[in-house]
Amino acid sequence: MARTEASKALDESFRAALLLTGSDEAAEYAVMAGIAALECGCLVDDALLVETVKSAIERRADFQGQSGTSVSHLPRELGRLFLLAPISRDCFVLRVLLGITAGRCSRILHLGIEEFEEMLCAALQELPRLEARSSTRCEITQTQGLSIARRATKTKASTDARGG
């Protein structure tokens, strides 16, 4: 495999692990474990991606609570994935973002094909709701921030007028 192909495989595997774990450290560990799991160290097809994904999912609990900083660096739309239940996020990332077949996704996640499809459907239905809730939260926060800023400005103006 040419160097550029290997580099692409590593990049894709790291991005996938990051979206599954939410942690740079966990993603790096998953890629290293994926490399170690390869037979004969050969990058064939999407073997590195699949092994990395398996490792990321299996070891995600070991890195729980470390996702805050890495997730904050993701675009807002991708950050919302972390509001989904982990299994729903797994289904969405594997099938929609990585384009892995439903059959292969179900095997990776140790789910029946129907169960996988139900979980994926649930994720697809939940994401727009998360978008709406997130937008509402953002509007409320902005409104609250504006009213707090106005109160602070009024208080300062009143204090200045009294010569305080």
pLDDT of 71-110, one tens digit each? 777 888 888 898 999 999 999 999 999 999 999 999 999 9
Q: Map out the domains of the chain as residue ranges.
A: 1-74, 84-158
Q: CA quadruple 109, 50, 93, 113: dihedral positive or negative?
A: negative
d(CA 39, CA 37): 6
* CA pair distance 46, 144, nearest whole angstrom: 48
CATH topology of domain 84-158: Arc Repressor Mutant, subunit A (1.10.10)
Burial (CB count <10 Å: 0-12, 13-18, 19+), residue 154: exposed
Average pLDDT, the chain: 79
pLDDT at residue 64 in the model: 65
**84 CB neighbour count, 10 Å cutoff:** 19
Give residue for tokens 């973002």: 97
Task: Give the residue ranges of the chain where pLDDT is below 70.
Answer: 1-3, 41, 63-70, 132-164
Q: Which residues contact 23 (CB under 8 A, 6 or more apart)?
A: 63, 66, 67, 70
Q: Is the pTM of this model over 0.75?
A: no
Number of CB atoms found within 10 A of residue 54's CB: 18
- Show Cβ contacts of residue 116 under 8 Å, excluding neighbours closer than 6 positions: 91, 95, 102, 105, 106, 109
